[in-house]
Amino acid sequence: MNANLKLEVVRADQISPNLQMDIHTLCNQAYEEDLKPLFSTFIDATHVLGFLDTSLVSHALWVPRWLQVGTNPVMRTAYIEAVATKDVYRARGFAATVMKRVAEEIQDFELGALSPFRVAYYERLGWEFWRGPLFIRTHEGLIRTPREENVMILRLPRTPVLDLNAPLSAEWREGELW
């Protein structure tokens, strides 16, 4: 854990407009696109913020989602989004520190999940690659997602036995489906 990084866990509805702007700026720079419209789709989000002094340098959030393996019962899942660190602070362990805190905070969920930017990065943090086909659940049925879409999971104390080769589905949502 990086001793210089001060972490705060904040629900989205408790974030000031100035801090919200800082989060958007950080994530927009990291992803090289305007993520503000996507952020508006993150209902009931919780953020983990990493500060050096008073400067926001690293970020991740999770939103509650419902993932389902095959026809098994749906699982209350903490879906991680917008993992970002300022360019000048990358490769210092800040994102790893934020992600470890995320893992500590989501222990009451049945599963953690995310769409990785780099599979190997998350594997070293204990995340597992989902090898089975991915689907989005709609009122009309399942929609297969493109093969280039990747999902990783983090087993938590309440995670049931999982077959990583089985079909995995998530409910449809605005913005990015996974």
pLDDT > 90: percent of the chain: 87
**Where are the extended beta strands (E) located within the chain?**
6-11, 46-52, 55-69, 75-85, 111-114, 128-129, 134-138, 141-144, 152-155, 168-171
In this structure, is residue 178 part of a structural domain?
no
Total domains present in the chain: 1
Query: Which pLDDT value is given to residue 2?
Result: 62
Residue 18 above 90 pLDDT? yes
Q: Are 12 and 41 in contact (CB under 8 A)?
A: no
Handedness of CA 92, 1, 82, 66 (dihedral sign): positive
Tokens of 25: 């700026």
| DSSP-derived 3-state class of residue 14 | helix
In this structure, is residue 83 part of a structural domain?
yes
Which residue range is the domain that position 129 belongs to? 6-171
**Lookup result for tokens 């913020």:** 49
In this structure, is residue 64 part of a structural domain?
yes
In this structure, is residue 1 part of a structural domain?
no
In this structure, is residue 177 part of a structural domain?
no
Residue 90 sits in a domain whose CATH number is 3.40.630.30
Distance (Å, whole) CA 78 – CA 13: 17
Range among 39-43, 89-93, 137-141 rated most confident: 137-141
In this structure, is residue 70 part of a structural domain?
yes
141: which residues sit within 8 A by CB, 6+ positions away?
none
Query: Which pLDDT value is given to residue 4?
Result: 87
In this structure, is residue 95 part of a structural domain?
yes
Span 131-148, average pLDDT: 94
Query: Which pLDDT value is given to residue 3?
Result: 66
How much is the pTM?
0.94
Handedness of CA 156, 42, 65, 32 (dihedral sign): negative
pLDDT digits (tens, 9 = 90+) for 70-101: 999 999 999 999 999 999 898 899 999 999 99
